[in-house]
Structures are given as C-alpha cells and as structure tokens.
Amino acid sequence: MSDAALPGAALTPDLSATLVSGALSSPAEVWAQACARLAADLPEQQFNTWIKPLAEPSLTLEPEGWTAKLTVPNRFKLDWIRTQYAGRLEGLLTDVVGAPVRLALAVQANTTPPTRAQAPQAAQAAQAQSGAPAGNASAPAAPARATAPTNAWAGGTAVAPSNRLNPALTFDTLVAGRANQMARTAALHVAGAPGGTYNPLFIYGGVGLGKTHLVHAVGNALLADRPDARVLYLHAEQFISDVVKNYQRKTFDELKAKYHSLDLLLIDDVQFFAGKDRTQEEFFNAFEALLAKKAHIIMTSDTYPKGLVDIDERLTSRFDSGLTVAIEPPELEMRVAILIRKSEQEGMPLPEDVAFFIAKNVRANVRELEGALRKVLAFAKFSHKEVTIALAREALKDLLSIQNRQIGVENIQKTVADFYKIKVADMYSKKRPASIARPRQIAMYLAKELTQKSLPEIGELFGGRDHTTVLHAVRKIGGERQKNTELNQQLHVLEQTLKG
Ligand SMILES: Nc1ncnc2c1ncn2[C@@H]1O[C@H](COP(=O)(O)OP(=O)(O)OP(=O)(O)O)[C@@H](O)[C@H]1O
C-alpha cells in the first residue's frame, strides 16, 4: 500500500507489512474483503441498502493504531450505521488487516448544491437532522441547538406546504425508550429502505404517544437522504376531504394522480375512515397502486387493524399484511428523559429531581407531559424563580389536586356496576353480553378520564385485558358521548357521584 493511499499515515514497518503481507494492496481491497464477509452475514436487502452504497474508507495509521475513516451521506445514515453495523465492521476490518482497526464515521460534505425546488426542503431537513443522534432513554439527553428556530412543540407552524412534513419532528428529537423501541426501529428501517420490508407499516397506540412524530421522522429522514423523493404526510381527515372534493367535482383522475405517484405515503389516524365507504374505496385503490409500485405506506391508528370498527375487512386485512407495531405509554425513565430533552430544547434545563417529580405525577402521555413542563417553565420564567420541586408543585397544583382526590379504579368499577345493576365481578370477567360489556366499557372510559392510570394499568385492573381493548372502549364511549344525550347524562351523573 502506498503512502498516498493512507493520507497522513506514518506507517510502522510491521503494521504496513501486515497489510501487505497477504494479497491486500489497498484500502479498496481491505474494504472489499470486509464487505464480502459482511454480505455473507447480512440479509441481502440490508446489505444493499446500508453498506453497498458506501465509498471505501481511507485507512490511516494513527498513534493508537489503524483508523478506517468511513464517510456516509447524512447524519441519519451515520446514526444507523453506527448503531447497527459499526461493531461488526470494526471486527471484520480488524480481521482483514490483521491488526486492530478503529472505525471513524463522518458525514460526507455536500458538494452538489440542491436544485431550487429542493433547496428549502433540503435546508429544513438538514437543519432538523443536524442535532445530536436520538439517545437511549437512560442516556443523558443531548443539549439543544441554540439556533433551532422550529420546535417539535410548535405543532404545525413549520410545515412545508408540499409534503406537509414538520421538519422539527425527526428521529433526533424523538426520545427513544422501551415504549417506542419496536416502532422506532421499524420506522428507521423504512426510512432507510422504503418499499422494502414492513410494507405497510401500521403503528398504533393511545393519544399523544408519538405516532405522528414518528411518521414525520420517517418522511424527514427519507427526504434528507433523497430530496427528490415524493413524500406526503396527511391526516386521514384530509384524505376524506380530498375524496369529497374530487367526488363533487368528478375529478377522480386528479385524486389518483396525486396519491398513486408517491414514494412514501404517511397517513395518520386511519380509524377516521370508519363508515366512509367511498373514502375507503379510494384509499384501497391508492393502497394497491402504491404497493404494486413498491412505494411505502405508513399508517397510524388508535387501535390495531382488527380492532378498527366500520372499516371494510379487505382494508383492515391489508393494513395488517406488513408489520403492525404498538407504541406504549412511556415508562418513568423515558418520561424523565423526554422532560430533560424538551426543557433543554426550551433553553431552560430541568434539574433531575424536578424532572422525576413531574414524571411521577404526569403519566398519561407525552402530550400531557409537555403541557405540564410548559406550565412549570412558564411559572418559573414569570415569577423569576429557580425551577425547584416546590415551584413545580405550585405550578401544577390544579393537576395534583385532581389526583389527590384519588378516584380509584375500584371505586369507579363499583359505582358503575351499581348504576347499571351488574355485579362488580363482571368488570373483570370475560363475559361479553352487551348488558355487561357496555357498563365495563363505560367504567374503562371513566377510569381513563378520572385517574392518572395508563391504558395498560387500567387493562390490568379489568381482568388483565390488553391496553388496546381499553383504548377502544375510551374512544367508543368518548365518541358516542358527543352524539348520545342519554349516555352523556348518565356519564355526567356517574362523574358527579365519583367526584363527590
Ligand atoms: N418519544 C418522544 N420523544 C419526544 N417527544 C415526543 C415523544 N413522543 C411524543 N412526543 C411529543 O409528544 C407530542 C404528542 O405526540 P404525537 O402528536 O406524535 O402523538 P400521537 O400519538 O400522534 O397522538 P394522537 O393520537 O393524539 O394524534 C408531540 O409534541 C411529540 O413531539
């Protein structure tokens, strides 16, 4: 190997000899051999997606030993390669070279300026991608970028009009933890290899748990990688209104042209398709067309495909034909990590004890956690006081006083059972007649409304039911309550009785 192939290297004779002792004469050959071994080890699609497109690393001899410097196209790929393949690559390079090799990853400098049409999106995506990689929930959160003009809290404010993606909702700003591990891993896979496995990807879970954030992250990551990709995010209701508009104008070809040409369709809250036959038909057509051309579809919902009501079975069975993953409510450590990360993004880092205090008291979902944090930070700012547990207690006193009234799930079960004249034991039983199932659903709904218990905790207290069953009950009764005055009155009476 020549010195030119090893920029900056001061070769010691024995290591240099190691490298040239076999048939290896250049970093390209070292890389080719390592790749050949990795290719034998990895599923072909993974290898072709992540490793094959990489240019060979430079090999330099630093005072600590050999370093292979591998450049990758963007931050997202760097994070993925670092977590998934770096260890294996280091081992293989070490084997091939015959001496320890350290792998150093760097993002490739961008040499081709984006086209005018791509520029704003690329700039937004690059900015959104430039933060620290998404950490482990237990790892300290990365400090926020001082220049970040957009914020994951900002909701729709920074949405690019064409693809409706919010550039602030990225993998970088999504805290990883046990609750979203499966969904996040699947989403990362799709972002790296859209049209491949896990198609469609169906993500379900309760309100405010990060489903929307995750699908935006996939769109933003794909655009950072391929700025020309045709990506569209939309809420199911926007699809419904598009269908209605095109129905009135008889312009179904336009609708088809819009949806069938995408590379990635991200569609939120598909439970809203319930009872909308024409929408379901058009979505079915789009779904089939996109899958046939290997475009990727990611959907979110409040329940798993088979739990969806009033949606045609030919659709729900297709929803389930790729990968279906749940996002669970975050556990305590993850809630703390989220609070710390978000407070840093706000430029007001939260002391750990205060983060634990808030996380212990706000358990329902991340949106509520964000709301509580906002209250505490605003309270500190306006009162010019330090953020302490005492201050947090004061800022959140309304929320805490609701909890202190301590309406327990058992109390709810008993009150509801008395009201509808069924046995309390039926709250835990597997019996399904409507005369029992409905009061049980009402009790689940009230448990969610009036206590701080998470969906899995409520499910457990109702005879070990799955959290999606609870979610279904909460949505169903909540939805019916809006239309059914009799039910609304009954619920009102029950609530007043329970609140005392
Ligand atoms: N793991 C996480 N890390 C950081 N922020 C999160 C995380 N999970 C959720 N959030 C934030 O919580 C808020 C609510 O999340 P999101 O809107 O994605 O929830 P959702 O599951 O889509 O809820 P809904 O069903 O009500 O639409 C957002 O501001 C999102 O950025």
User: Do both 485 and 336 map to the same domain?
Assistant: no
Q: Which atom from ligand 1 is nearest to the alpha carbon of 327? A: 21
Any domain includes 423: yes
User: Do both 420 and 389 map to the same domain?
Assistant: no
User: Do both 386 and 446 map to the same domain?
Assistant: no
Nearest residue (by CA) to ligand 1, atom 5, is: 174
- In 3D, which of 98, 132, 183, 165 has the Cα closest to residue 344? 132
**Total of domains in the chain:** 4
Q: Per the annotation, does 210 bind a ligand?
A: yes
User: Do both 180 and 248 map to the same domain?
Assistant: yes
pLDDT reported for residue 88: 87
- CATH number, domain of 394, equals 1.10.8.60
Any domain includes 119: no
Does residue 439 register a pLDDT over 90?
A: yes
Q: Which atom from ligand 1 is nearest to the alpha carbon of 174? A: 3
pLDDT reported for residue 99: 81
Mean pLDDT along residues 444-467:
92
Does residue 265 register a pLDDT over 50?
A: yes
Pure H helices in 44-110: 44-46, 75-84, 86-97
Average pLDDT score over the chain: 82
Q: Per the annotation, does 423 bind a ligand?
A: no
Name the pLDDT band for 401 (thresholds 50, 70, 90): low
Tracing tokens 């809290």 back to the chain, one arrives at: 153
User: Do both 308 and 347 map to the same domain?
Assistant: no
Any domain includes 426: yes
Q: Per the annotation, does 71 bind a ligand?
A: no
Does residue 456 register a pLDDT over 90?
A: yes
Mean pLDDT along residues 391-399:
91
Indicate the residue type of 218.
V
200 cis-preceded (ω within 30 degrees of 0): yes
Any idea which of 46-50, 260-264, 327-331, 401-405 has the lowest mean pLDDT? 401-405
- CATH number, domain of 278, equals 3.40.50.300
Pure H helices in 3-74: 13-21, 27-41, 44-46
How much is the pTM? 0.60
Pure H helices in 178-276: 181-192, 211-225, 236-249, 252-260
Any domain includes 133: no
- CATH number, domain of 430, equals 1.10.1750.10
Which residue among 213, 269, 365 has the greatest number of ligand 1 atoms within 8 angstroms of its CB, and so is best to mutate? 213
Does residue 308 register a pLDDT over 70?
A: yes
- In 3D, which of 363, 159, 359 has the Cα closest to residue 376? 359
pLDDT reported for residue 395: 94
User: Do both 347 and 378 map to the same domain?
Assistant: yes
pLDDT reported for residue 78: 80
Any domain includes 135: no
Euclidean distance between the first and the last CA atom of the chain, given in angstroms as a whole number = 83
Instruction: Using a pLDDT cut of 90, give the percent of the chain over it.
Output: 49
- Does the CB atom of residue 367 touch ligand 1 within 6 A? yes
Q: Per the annotation, does 208 bind a ligand?
A: yes
Higher pLDDT, 88 or 343: 343
From 107, 141, 170, give the residue that closes a domain: 107
Does residue 470 register a pLDDT over 90?
A: yes
Q: Which two tokens stand for residue 279?
A: 């929408």
pLDDT reported for residue 403: 60
From 382, 404, 426, give the residue that closes a domain: 404
Any idea which of 13-22, 35-44, 82-91, 164-173 has the lowest mean pLDDT? 13-22
What crossing angle do the helices spanning 75-84 and 181-192 adopt, rounded to 10°? 120
Domain of residue 197 covers 155-327
Query: Could you tell me the CA-to-CA distances from 256 to 203, 287, 401 in Å, in that order?
Result: 25, 11, 53
Any domain includes 127: no
User: Do both 232 and 322 map to the same domain?
Assistant: yes
pLDDT reported for residue 42: 78
User: Do both 385 and 428 map to the same domain?
Assistant: no
User: Do both 306 and 422 map to the same domain?
Assistant: no
Nearest residue (by CA) to ligand 1, atom 8, is: 210
User: Do both 93 and 14 map to the same domain?
Assistant: yes
- Does the CB atom of residue 369 touch ligand 1 within 6 A? no
User: Do both 268 and 168 map to the same domain?
Assistant: yes
- Does the CB atom of residue 212 touch ligand 1 within 6 A? yes
- In 3D, which of 351, 398, 399 has the Cα closest to residue 377? 351
Name the pLDDT band for 162 (thresholds 50, 70, 90): confident
CB-based contacts of 327: which residues, under 8 Å, 6+ apart?
A: 179, 180, 183, 203, 204, 205, 209, 210, 211, 214
Chain CA centroid to CA 404, Å: 33
CB-based contacts of 38: which residues, under 8 Å, 6+ apart?
A: 47, 51, 85, 88, 89, 92
Give the Å distance between the CA of 154 and the centre of ligand 1.
12
- Does the CB atom of residue 366 touch ligand 1 within 6 A? yes
pLDDT digits (tens, 9 = 90+) for 216-262: 999 999 999 999 999 999 999 999 999 999 988 888 888 899 899 99
pLDDT reported for residue 485: 79
- Does the CB atom of residue 208 touch ligand 1 within 6 A? yes
- CATH number, domain of 90, equals 3.30.300.180
Instruction: Please tell me the distance from the alpha carbon of residue 298 to that of residue 222, in angstroms, as a whole number.
Output: 13
Mean pLDDT along residues 73-86:
78
Any domain includes 114: no
Any domain includes 297: yes
- Does the CB atom of residue 213 touch ligand 1 within 6 A? yes
| DSSP annotation of 194 | T
Give the Å distance between the CA of 430 and the centre of ligand 1.
33
Name the pLDDT band for 16 (thresholds 50, 70, 90): low
Nearest residue (by CA) to ligand 1, atom 13, is: 367
Mean pLDDT along residues 136-146:
29
Contact 308, 271 (CB under 8 A): yes
Outline where DSSP puts E strands in 99-241: 101-107, 201-205, 231-235
Nearest residue (by CA) to ligand 1, atom 24, is: 207
From 384, 404, 424, give the residue that closes a domain: 404
User: Do both 159 and 280 map to the same domain?
Assistant: yes
Indicate the residue type of 476.
K
Does residue 472 register a pLDDT over 70?
A: yes
Give the Å distance between the CA of 169 and the centre of ligand 1.
9
pLDDT digits (tens, 9 = 90+) for 311-365: 999 999 999 999 999 998 888 899 999 999 999 999 999 999 999 999 988 877 8
